[in-house]
Structure 1
Amino acid sequence: MSRALRFAALGDSLTEGVGDPVGETWRGWAALLAPALGPGELAVEFRNFAVSGAQTRDVLERQAPDALAFAPDVVSVVVGVNDTLRCTFDIHAVAARLDTVYREFTARGAVLLTACLPDPGAMLGLPGALARPLARRQRAVNAVVHALSERYGAVHLHAAHDAWVADRAMWSADRLHPGERGHRMLAARFHARLEAVGHEVGPSPSVEPEQAPPTRSAGLFWLATAGTGWVVRRCADLLPQLLTLAAHEVRHRARGTSVALDLRSARAVAAALASVSGAASAGEVVGAA
């Protein structure tokens, strides 16, 4: 009997499965995708190393060593949103960590799955002056993920600007994590990407949800109760800096020089990628953002 195909999932709450409850636990897109990775009768052994709140440092230092010991045939690394919500955000550090993680797994022959994601400010509906700095940070992370995914031959899913972002039925009550329908969509799209690039897989995961999507009132209730605590926990160290960034944003918009902030971010991404192996061109980076 051949060895089961091994699938390891690394990342934060998205990959942990938050928003897709099954009983007392989370399921999520990676667990939905796992059974569909084995062609024919090939069994799949799945381990989810993702942890809610994880940043790229956590993936590099805590999750990757355990996942490497598991010796996966397929590995997903979807992370970076939490980095943008911290006052310690550093696109150079994000690029260096992701470069190391991608390199370690692909050097061992694992098929690497990655994704670009929407920015949290837009999902929360923050005012423009607060949302734009977060959006710029997320675009920087996405540009890095895009460039490094191409560099390491990853199966990359563009999920930052698709129609699903605006489809309320795809999201859970917290407005930040996909609901069951969204997790199923992500699983099916990763499956389709694997097929498109020639990987042999089993039947696609179902996109039909088993539960109704959350109502608008459920979303408002979450924001008025648990949501407030979530924002405080995630953004307490970011808020002073975010207010400063917002003030800069307002001044630049008043002067008509907002493009300078975008150019500064693009240059930072280009420098970050140039500092890791196989330097990418600035043109590639700007296009990816």
Structure 2
Amino acid sequence: MAVSHRAPGAGAVRRTPSRSPRFVALGDSLTEGVGDRVGDHWRGWAALLASGIGCGDAPAVFRNLAVSGALTRDVAERQTPEALAFEPDIAAVLVGVNDTLRRTFDIEDMARQLDAVCKQLVARGTVLLTACLPDPGSMLGLPVPLARPLARRQRAVNAVVHALSDRYGAVHLHTADAAWVADRSMWSADRLHPGERGHRMIARRFHELLAERGLAHGTAPGGEPEQSPPSRTASVLWLATAGTAWVARRCTDLLPQLMRLAGAEVRHWARGTSARLDLSAEHALSAALAAVSLDGPLARMGE
């Protein structure tokens, strides 16, 4: 997993461990902790990171507002007001994958919503944590005609996240790297969420960058899982029941449109005009970045 070192932004001030730092996590199921079950609840990378931000006499005060299935609009309208009221020193904002699984996906609207979230948090001196994420089509191993439309959407989301991370001096992780995606030991049975090892890796990478800024004073979380991984039988059973239901709930309104998009992929491939679909996606991204007054290079569509 690549680590991006961003120049400090408005909120990137060095803090001392004289008081307990306040850390809030916003987002969807990834940040809620799905894939890292401890007892009867999800833990996840944000909770693991929280334990290493503060120190013994001033442990971090942590709140996880992330909710499975959340869209960028949900983060902006529901989670952000609560996060601001918490007055955080550090805020994780990881969202966007669920947006790509909706029929109503609009990269410009998503960019406006995410920009508003970042702007409000940074305005009060909060340090942002962000990450670009792998596309669900490749994670699920979908056929190419189905996977390519989702990949274009996620690349556009990642490009917006990169641009906003630069603007607001965020601590940013590249979690869409091929090596990270291909390492099966990092992922849970559903192939969409990290397992315990993956959540620990994300927490350790963020801790490393926060420590460099003088914002993490505790010990980094360990990298090795403490829970026994689910058996192959248990994993298959989960995929056949809860996992299938999870995917279905998030893709129901997308499936008819996705089939049409897949048909367009096949037609353009047969005609040798697939580049037109990529160009259309790049134009939409350019309009989205312009809408939030950002000059983002189109080359980032490929990251």
TM-score (normalised: structure 1): 0.94
The answer (yes or no) to whether the contact 1:169–1:214 under 8 Å persists in 2 is no
The answer (yes or no) to whether the contact 1:146–1:288 under 8 Å persists in 2 is no
- SS of equivalent residue, structure 2 residue 82: helix
1:134 paired to 2:147 = no
Which residue does 1:113 correspond to in 2?
129
1:161-204 Cα offsets, whole Å, 9 max, x none, are: 24121111111111111111110011001112223455453221
The answer (yes or no) to whether the contact 1:175–1:219 under 8 Å persists in 2 is no
The answer (yes or no) to whether the contact 1:169–1:213 under 8 Å persists in 2 is no
- The CA distance in 1 between the partners of 2:216 and 2:29, in whole Å, is 28
Q: 1:70-89 to 2 correspondence within 5 Å? A: 70-89=86-105
- The CA distance in 2 between the partners of 1:263 and 1:12, in whole Å, is 29
- The CA distance in 2 between the partners of 1:254 and 1:225, in whole Å, is 37
Which residue does 2:6 correspond to in 1?
none
Q: Out of 60, 75, 78, which is 1:62 matched to? A: 78
- The CA distance in 1 between the partners of 2:76 and 2:169, in whole Å, is 19
1:42-70 Cα offsets, whole Å, 9 max, x none, are: 32100000000000010000000000000
- The CA distance in 1 between the partners of 2:288 and 2:174, in whole Å, is 21
Change (3 A) 1:191 1:162: farther
Which residue does 1:260 correspond to in 2?
276
Q: Out of 254, 269, 275, which is 1:238 matched to? A: 254
With 153-162 and 109-118 compared, the bigger mean Cα shift is at 153-162
1:286 paired to 2:299 = yes
**Unpaired runs of at least 5, structure 1:** none
Q: 1:38-187 to 2 correspondence within 5 Å? A: 38-39=54-55, 41-187=57-203
- The CA distance in 1 between the partners of 2:216 and 2:75, in whole Å, is 28
Which residue does 2:3 correspond to in 1?
none
**Deviation, structure 1 residue 265:** 1.0
- The CA distance in 1 between the partners of 2:217 and 2:279, in whole Å, is 41
Q: Out of 193, 216, 241, which is 2:209 matched to? A: 193
- The CA distance in 2 between the partners of 1:235 and 1:161, in whole Å, is 24
Counterpart AA for 2:165: S
- The CA distance in 1 between the partners of 2:171 and 2:56, in whole Å, is 21
- The CA distance in 2 between the partners of 1:196 and 1:253, in whole Å, is 47
- The CA distance in 2 between the partners of 1:274 and 1:37, in whole Å, is 36
- The CA distance in 1 between the partners of 2:174 and 2:22, in whole Å, is 24
**Deviation, structure 1 residue 35:** 1.5
The answer (yes or no) to whether the contact 1:266–1:286 under 8 Å persists in 2 is no
- SS of equivalent residue, structure 1 residue 183: helix
The answer (yes or no) to whether the contact 1:122–1:135 under 8 Å persists in 2 is yes
The answer (yes or no) to whether the contact 1:129–1:247 under 8 Å persists in 2 is yes
TM-score (normalised: structure 2): 0.90
The answer (yes or no) to whether the contact 1:112–1:155 under 8 Å persists in 2 is yes
Which residue does 2:5 correspond to in 1?
none
Change (3 A) 1:37 1:288: farther
The answer (yes or no) to whether the contact 1:147–1:285 under 8 Å persists in 2 is no
The answer (yes or no) to whether the contact 1:157–1:193 under 8 Å persists in 2 is no
Counterpart AA for 1:279: L
1:218 paired to 2:218 = no
**Deviation, structure 1 residue 223:** 2.4
With 124-133 and 89-98 compared, the bigger mean Cα shift is at 124-133
